[in-house]
Amino acid sequence: MLCFFLAYRFYGKFIERRIFSTSHDAKTPSVELEDGIDYVPTRASILFGHHFSSIAGAAPIVGPAIAVIWGWLPAVVWILVGSIFIGGVHDMGSLIVSARHKGKSIAEVAKSVISPRTRILFMFIIFFALLVVMAVFALVIALLFISFPAAVLPILMQTPVALALGYLIYRKRQTHLFTLTLAMVCLLYFFMWLGTIVPIKVPPIFFSSEILTWVVILMAYVYTASTLPVWVLLQPRDYINSYLLLLTLGSLYLGLFVAHPTITAPAIVASPPGAPPILPFLFITIACGAISGFHALVSSGTTVKQMSLETDSRPIAYGGMLAEGALAIVAALACTAGFASRASWGQHYASWSAASGFMIKITAFVNGAGGFLESLGIPASIATTIVSVTIIAFAATSLDTATRLQRYIIAELASSVRVPALQRRHPATIIAVGSAFGLTLINGGKGGMILWPLFGTINQLMAGLTFLVLTIYLLSKNKPVLYTAVPMGFLMIFTTAALVHDLRGFAAKQNWLLFGIGVAVALLELWFIVEGALIIKKSRSVSA
């Protein structure tokens, strides 16, 4: 916590002011292009809620919960160093640079600072990544609803609560934000208590499957959320969720200090049975919580279109990354100190196959985190509901934000190939939701898991390419590039090493679908890097 505080106070401030030179007087896209739908000027406290809730999906919980198989020490060190020196710079830099390009996506920025070809390359990578995120997160939320029926009612009630909050703030112009927030958060906690009394199980209405029934409901929701003006549902829901999530996070840390459990897990496990090598896969397994390319999509997608002042970038983006780092730290602790003995931990993490899997890891986190809350005197059933609602709320906000981002990407691709119809809200959203739903239909709702093994490397690849764009942008402004170039090189090296390792595994298993996609991604990465290198060489020649 002390490291995070010092990083925000000094390093984040240095990067914001000395490297990117933010200005309080700069006109942001939300002010210049305000349309009441996507471009909506928003106060920093509300926008932080949207940004933090959107970037902190299930990944900062699942990633550390898997990575502690190599021991708690590598996981904690990587989360700490990564979030401060890599993730925070990545998120804030992409937000600032996007704001200076009229709120365009990081792919559009690549077109401006590198070449038009890189824009198309980046967009295809982003489209694939968002497609997998939408399909997998829909599946995860469905499984969580089935496993924790007490969480269904409070999650469903978040929508009318958010609608009411958005109406009161933007239509009734209510200025007592603190009072409104307190009332809405208390209402959500009331529904959590009620959910433990009235758990909800949904019958298999669609496709004779409970999972696909929830997927249909979720896809209908994200379609609606993506097409409504951002202030109606997306922004107030994320804002309320952020308070719910931060309160839960604070309670987990308080419970951790009160319980003061012994960490039964080992500090370092060099070679767990069946696990890939810790280098480079530690940096791929823990993405969100340390550094994630998905964050650049949020920063340059929805957040930038709501940021009122350029100087809000540090509290929103850098602060949001540090908050997610804090979540990842407590996730790692819940999956190590949350076990009663070394033997029980060893049984859960007996091998890589035993340690992987969403529900296995989420269950480990729910049990460990629930124990932290129980030390505060909270009954076990309510503690479990609070933790499960928190995870689902994280995943749901990432899902609806990913859908809106996919709509933006489809619209930008449509403008490139000159198809005006797909640049409009509803047609673009139909493509976004329809493609993700089609993927989930495969294998009874688990279609996204087919492509999931490639997501980690592609996600970190996006982060590396974003750093390349930021580095070339800073070069064009005669700014120091050390603070973006070093993270860029780090991510490129380790991501490429992980991709090569994966390709060998896919070939050995004759999984030609993932092998073909992986090779295509590798070629796109190489092409993008060559384009960037040519621009850097040209820039140096001009400077000389």
Burial of 60 (0-12, 13-18, 19+ CB in 10 A): buried
What's the mean pLDDT when you consider all of the chain? 91
- What are the pLDDT digits (tens) for 172-191? 777 688 888 889 999 999 99
- Is the pLDDT assigned to residue 544 strictly greater than 60? no
Percent of the residues in the chain that have a pLDDT greater than 70, as a whole number = 98
pLDDT at 311: 95
Is 222 within 8 Å of 433 (Cβ atoms)? yes
Nearest-angstrom CA–CA distance, 420 and 430? 15
323: confidence class by pLDDT, cuts 50, 70, 90: very high
Residues across the chain? 544
300 and 95 Cβ atoms separated by less than 8 Å? yes
State how many domains the chain has.
Answer: 1
113, 476 Cβ separation under 8 angstroms? yes
Judged against a pLDDT cut of 90, whether residue 431 lies above it is answered with yes
The predicted structure's pLDDT at residue 348: 82
Domain assignment of residue 243, yes or no? yes
d(CA 194, CA 434): 34
Q: Kindly tell me if the per-residue pLDDT of 161 is higher than 70.
A: yes
Percentage of the chain beyond pLDDT 90 is 61
Tell me, yes or no, whether 450 lies in a domain: no
pLDDT tens, position by position, 109-144: 998 888 888 888 888 889 988 999 899 899 989 999
Nearest of 192, 143, 345 to residue 261 by alpha carbon = 345
CB contact set of 157 (below 8 Å; sequence gap of 6+):
187, 188, 191
The answer to whether position 334 is within a domain reads yes
Please report, for the domain that includes residue 227, its CATH number: 1.20.1740
Task: Considering only residues 233 and 57, tell me which one the structure prediction assigns the higher pLDDT.
Answer: 233
- Residue 258 pLDDT class (50, 70, 90 cuts): very high
351 SS3 class = coil
Report pLDDT for 541: 65
- Residue 193 covered by a domain: yes
User: Is residue 50 in a domain?
Assistant: yes
Residue type, 293: G
Contacts of residue 147, defined as CB under 8 A and 6 or more positions apart, other chains included, come to 359, 363, 388
Q: Which domain holds residue 527?
A: 2-445+455-543
